[in-house]
Amino acid sequence: MTSPILLPPTLNVPPQTISGAGRSGAMSDLLSPFGSRIMLVHGRSLTTNGHLDRILDGLSDRSSAGVYCHAGTEPTLDEVTKCVAALRAFKPDCVVAVGGGSVMDLAKASAGLIDAPLSVEAYHGGAPLPVSNCPFVAVPTTAGTGSEATYVSVLSDTALGIKKSIRDPSHLPRLVVLDPILLRSCPQHVLAASGMDAFTQAVEAYVSRGATDFSDDLALRGAATVFRNLMRIAEDRDAPDEAYLELLQGSYMAGLALSHARLGLVHGLAHPLGYRFHAPHGLVCGVCLPAVIRFNREAASAKFDVLSGVLGGDILDVTEDALIRLGLASPFAGKAIDDIDAVVAETLASGSTKANPRLPTEQDVIEMLAALCA
Ligand SMILES: [Fe+2]
C-alpha 57 to ligand 1 mean position (Å): 32
255 and 167 both lie in a single domain: no
In a domain, 1, yes or no: no
Same domain, 295 and 247: yes
Question: How many angstroms is it from 282 CA to the middle of ligand 1?
Answer: 6
Rounded CA separation 267/258 (Å): 11
Same domain for 233 and 139, yes or no, is no
How far does the centroid of ligand 1 lie from the alpha carbon of residue 271, in Å?
9
Residue 225: name the closest of 244, 256, 203, 247 by CA. 247
Which pTM value belongs to this model?
Answer: 0.95
* Low-confidence residues of the chain: pLDDT under 70: 1-4
Distance 192 CA to ligand 1 centre (A): 13
Q: Give 187 Cα–ligand 1 centroid separation in angstroms.
A: 18
Q: Which domain holds residue 81?
A: 23-178
Q: Of the candidates 143, 178, 213, which is a domain's last residue?
A: 178
> 3-class secondary structure for 202-262?
HHHHHHCCCCCHHHHHHHHHHHHHHHHHHHHHHHCCCCCHHHHHHHHHHHHHHHHHHHHHC
Q: How far is the CA of 29 from the centre of ligand 1 (A)?
A: 32
> Within this chain, do residues 142 and 269 fall inside the same structural domain, yes or no?
no
Amino acid 4: pLDDT = 60
Q: 157 and 255: one domain? A: no
CA of 201 to the centre of ligand 1 (A): 6
The CATH number for 201's domain is: 1.20.1090.10
How far is the centre of ligand 1, averaged over its atoms, from the C-alpha of 245 (Å)?
Answer: 20
The predicted-structure confidence for 250-286, as pLDDT tens digits, reads as follows 999 999 999 999 999 999 999 899 888 889 999 999 9
For residue 17, is it within any domain? no
Write the DSSP string, 90-128: H--SEEEEEESHHHHHHHHHHHHTTT-SS-HHHHHTTPP
Q: Are residues 173 and 221 in the same domain?
A: no
pLDDT value at residue 242: 98
The CA distance from 6 to 70, in Å, is 40
CA 71 to each of CA 76, 78, 302, 374: distance values in angstroms, whole numbers, following the listed order: 11, 12, 44, 33
Say how far apart CA 4 and CA 211 lie, in whole Å: 8
For ligand 1, a single-atom ion, the residues with CB < 5 A are 197
Cα-to-centroid distance, 176 and ligand 1 (Å): 19
CATH number, domain of 37, equals: 3.40.50.1970
Q: Is 40 helix (H, G, I), strand (E, B) or coil?
A: strand
Phi, psi values for residue 273, rounded to 5°: -70, -45
Q: What is the CA(347)–ligand 1 centre distance, in A?
A: 14
371 three-state secondary structure: helix
Whole-number Å distance, alpha carbon 101 to ligand 1 midpoint, is: 9
Number of domains in the chain: 2
Same domain, 288 and 257: yes
Q: Rounded to the nearest whole angstrom, what is the distance from the C-alpha of residue 92 to the centroid of ligand 1?
A: 29
